Structure 1
Amino acid sequence: MTAAVSFQHVSRHFGSVRAVDDVNLDIAEGEFFAMLGPSGSGKTTCLRLIAGFEQPTSGHIEIFGETAEGLPPYRRNVNTVFQDYALFPHMTVGENVAYGLMIKGVARADREAQARDALAMVKLKDFGARRPGQLSGGQRQRVALARALVNKPKVLLLDEPLGALDLKLREQMQEELKSLQKQLGITFVFVTHDQGEALSMADRVAIFNDGKIVQAGSPSDVYERPRSRFVADFVGSSNVLSPEFAAAHGGSNSWTSLRPEKIRVLTDEKAVPVGSGAATGIVSSVQYQGPVTRVVVDVEGTRLAAAVPAGSADIREGQTVHLTWPRAALVAMDGA
């Protein structure tokens, strides 16, 4: 089956800077694919290479089996939704949505009808006559989405489109974007530095660092089985254990990831399950975080963070506690 987007040994250099460094990647048709990484990791440059705003220094890019390098953006069946929305303030919402169709020469009545349908799709059916300045941030984001979708792209590129929204609205839009992608069945390529967004929406996630993909897989695979210390640290929160500590507490002699939510904090040593990984230490801090309490424990010079349900135990700083975890929660990684 032909991939929606294929990168074959793609690099993009800016002088001596390797923004993208020998990336190989296949994105399936109909997939919600997230590119996740810190600033400067190469994820946005990859998105721009798909869009045609950048050209590769070396390597080969295909979009649905067709060579993309050298092809200008307007000849690619892709559309981009930007973080700043890029709406025309002097146009109405309806005119903004219909703009791409006007450039293509679609008759006025047809493009206005298609714009209305696109606005209805993003729950802005009656907003066509308004100006962008009269809308909230979330509404402007929906207009930008409608403007991209009205062109019926095979691939929709989303460059941190939720970055300007507050937390509650971001969560709402995450649900709506995922629902819309399922409804339309088109390929979404989503760039973000927010781990929660990537894990909650994507079918697959690629983790970028220093211009390379360091791990790709399902959200659960990337979170539960990080292959490197970078992925363990960047995706969620993790205790990265030294080979010596891991080997002494139920794991292998390698760098190891142990997620805080896998750790139980007990005040009675007799309650520690037989056969589990275990350690005893002194509580150095207790931080209430709403649904969970973060407990940091000093164990033989190693600090372990545990996430326990709020109110589940009376734990205080300076207290001696016993930590326990399933041996399967110790995930061996490479040393990079």
Structure 2
Amino acid sequence: MSPAVRFQNVSRRFGSVRAVDGVSLDIEPGEFFALLGPSGSGKTTCLRLIAGFEQPDEGHIEIFGETAEGVPPYRRNVNTVFQDYALFPHMTVGENVAYGLMIKGVSKAEREAKAKDALALVKLAGYDTRRTAQLSGGQRQRVALARALVNGPKVLLLDEPLGALDLKLREQMQEELKSLQTSLGITFVFVTHDQGEALSMANRVAIFNDGKIVQVGTPSDVYERPTSRFVADFVGSSNVLPPEFAVAHGGVAAWTSLRPERIDVVPETASIAADHTSARGTISSISYQGAVTRITVATDKLPIVATIPPGASLHKGDAVTLAWPKSAMVAMGDGA
């Protein structure tokens, strides 16, 4: 079976800026795939290339085996959900959802029935006669989602659709989007700069930086086994250890990632397990963050950050030992 989306050495330039720079990528049918990266990294331009809002300057794009270059958006079997929803205020909810079907010439009775079915999918059954101004932000987001789904796309593109929601609603919608994608079985391509969102929802993640993909993998792959300092720093937080420090503590001669939650903070004289290594230092800062406490320890070589459960009787200036499994150190090649 052909990939749902295939990029082969795709580039897109805006003047002298290469917004997308030689990207090659396969997204599989039925996959929830996240494009993750900071602002300006190329992820949204890639989404627009799939949608047909942009055309590549170089390379080749396929959607389910069909060439996409030169094909206008309305002839691609994809739909996009935007962050700002772009709903029509003069239309009812049902009319908003059915708008695409109306443009296609679908009969009024059929499009109204399909709009009701799509609203039921996003848990808005009975809302079809309301005005969009009467809805909350989360409800408007669901209407935008229903409007995209009612057309039966083979690929649904989501451009940071949860960015305008508050934290509680955002977390709820993350769960609902993932559940909806699983039940529908269609391909979701999701753009976000929020690493927690990508890790919690996606089957696989592509990490973007400076127009290039720097790593692709499952959420656990990119978190547990980052291949570069950029990925280690961007996906969660990490202690990036220089090669000489890694070697001195049982690792290899390479830039190395050590996640803060893998580190224990113990008394200075505590014994260390044989498969662990350690470093002594002095606590330079303590930050209570609810579920965890973040502790920075100044060792004789470099500061190291650990996250531990709250409640420990520790204070700034305390002499402590940091202990971690040698296996928790992940080599990252040249550390770029």
Counterpart-to-counterpart distance in 2, 1:242 and 1:258: 11
Counterpart-to-counterpart distance in 1, 2:218 and 2:158: 19
Counterpart-to-counterpart distance in 1, 2:115 and 2:202: 27
Q: Deviation string for 1:158-182 (max 9, x for gaps)?
A: 0000000000000000000000000
Q: Deviation string for 1:217-263 (max 9, x for gaps)?
A: 00000000000000000000100111111111221111100000000
**Which TM-score applies when normalising by structure 2?**
0.99
Counterpart-to-counterpart distance in 2, 1:299 and 1:159: 43
Match of 1:133 in 2: 133
Q: Flag structure 1 segments of 5+ consecutive residues without an equivalent.
A: none
Counterpart-to-counterpart distance in 2, 1:126 and 1:314: 54
Query: SS state of the match for residue 245, structure 2?
Result: helix
Alignment of 1:89-168 (within 5 A): 89-168=89-168
Residues 30 and 188, structure 2, Cα contact 8 Å, conserved in 1:
yes
**Which TM-score applies when normalising by structure 1?**
0.99
Cα RMSD (Å): 0.7
Counterpart-to-counterpart distance in 2, 1:91 and 1:115: 13
Q: Deviation string for 1:284-321 (max 9, x for gaps)?
A: 0011111110010001141100000111x211100000
Whether 1:83 and 2:49 are equivalent positions in the alignment is no
Whether 1:295 and 2:295 are equivalent positions in the alignment is yes
Shift of 1:274: 2.5
Letter aligned with residue 81 of structure 1: V
Counterpart-to-counterpart distance in 1, 2:115 and 2:33: 26
Counterpart-to-counterpart distance in 1, 2:288 and 2:30: 41
Match of 1:305 in 2: 305
Q: Flag structure 2 segments of 5+ consecutive residues without an equivalent.
A: none
Alignment of 1:1-336 (within 5 A): 1-311=1-311, 313-334=312-333, 335-336=335-336
**Deviant stretches of 4+, over 6 Å:** none
Query: SS state of the match for residue 22, structure 1?
Result: strand
Letter aligned with residue 71 of structure 2: L
Letter aligned with residue 162 of structure 2: L
Equivalent residues, number: 335
Shift of 1:269: 2.3
Residues 21 and 211, structure 1, Cα contact 8 Å, conserved in 2:
yes
Shift of 1:268: 4.5
Shift of 1:273: 1.7
Letter aligned with residue 45 of structure 1: T
Residues 7 and 60, structure 2, Cα contact 8 Å, conserved in 1:
yes
Shift of 1:126: 1.4
Shift of 1:55: 0.1
- Quote the sequence identity (%): 75
Residues 11 and 59, structure 2, Cα contact 8 Å, conserved in 1:
yes
Letter aligned with residue 322 of structure 2: L
Shift of 1:272: 2.2
Residues 268 and 280, structure 2, Cα contact 8 Å, conserved in 1:
no
Counterpart-to-counterpart distance in 2, 1:269 and 1:136: 56
Query: SS state of the match for residue 97, structure 1?
Result: helix
Letter aligned with residue 107 of structure 2: A
Counterpart-to-counterpart distance in 2, 1:174 and 1:272: 40
Query: SS state of the match for residue 270, structure 1?
Result: coil
